[in-house]
Amino acid sequence: MVAKYKQYFQNDLQFEEFSKYHVIQLNDTHPIIAIPELIRVLVDENSIDFEKAVEITKNTFAFTNHTVLQEALETWPKDIMLEVCPRCFEIIEQLNENVVKEFKKKGLSEEAIDPYRIIRFDQIRMANLAIVMSKSVNGVAKLHTQILKDDTFNNWYKLMPEKFNNKTNGITPRRWLVYSNIRLSNFITEKLGTGDWKYDLTKLKGLEKFLDDEKTLEEINQIKYENKKDLAKYILENEGISIDPNSIFDIQIKRIHEYKRQHLNLIHIINLYHELKNNPDMDFYPTTFILGGKAAPGYFRAKAIIKLANEIARVVNNDPYVNDKIKVVFVNNYRVSYGEKLFPAADISEQISTAGKEASGTGNMKFMLNGALTLGTYDGANIEIFENAGVENNYLFGAKVEELNEIYNSYNPKEFYHTNEDIKDAVDALLSGELKDNDSYMFLDIYNSLINPQGGEKADNYFVLKDFEDYKKTHEKINKEYADRLTWARKSLKNIANAGYFSSDRTILEYAKDIWKL
Active-site residues, by number, are: 66, 254-255, 260, 362, 366
* Adjacent-strand bridge partners of 75: 125
Taking the C-alpha atoms of residue 501 and residue 511, their distance in angstroms, rounded to an integer, is: 15
Taking the C-alpha atoms of residue 164 and residue 64, their distance in angstroms, rounded to an integer, is: 10
Could you give the angle at which helices 464-481 and 421-428 cross, rounded to 10 degrees?
100
261 residue type, one letter: R
The helix (H) or strand (E) run that includes residue 454 is: none
Residue 28 CB partners (closer than 8 Å, separation 6+): 64, 65, 66, 67, 72
Taking the C-alpha atoms of residue 450 and residue 435, their distance in angstroms, rounded to an integer, is: 18
Query: DSSP state, 457?
Result: B
| Sign of the alpha-carbon torsion through 205, 206, 210, 216 | negative
* Adjacent-strand bridge partners of 253: 292
CA dihedral 150, 154, 160, 165 (to 10 degrees): -40
Q: Considering only CA atoms, which of 498, 134, 428 is closest in space to residue 271?
A: 428
Phi, psi of 171 (to 5 degrees): -125, 160
Q: Considering only CA atoms, which of 369, 370, 371, 396 is closest in space to residue 382?
A: 396
DSSP codes joined into one string, 320-356: TTTTTTEEEEE-TT--HHHHHHHHHH-SEEEE-PPTT
The helix (H) or strand (E) run that includes residue 70 is: none
Q: Hey, how many other C-beta atoms are within 10 angstroms of the C-beta on 43? A: 20
Does residue 330 contact residue 310 with C-beta atoms inside 8 Å? yes
3-state SS, 199-246, equals CCHHHHHHHHHHCCCHHHHHHHHHHHHHHHHHHHHHHHHHHCCCCCCC
Does residue 405 contact residue 451 with C-beta atoms inside 8 Å? no
Does residue 243 contact residue 226 with C-beta atoms inside 8 Å? no
Does residue 13 contact residue 6 with C-beta atoms inside 8 Å? yes
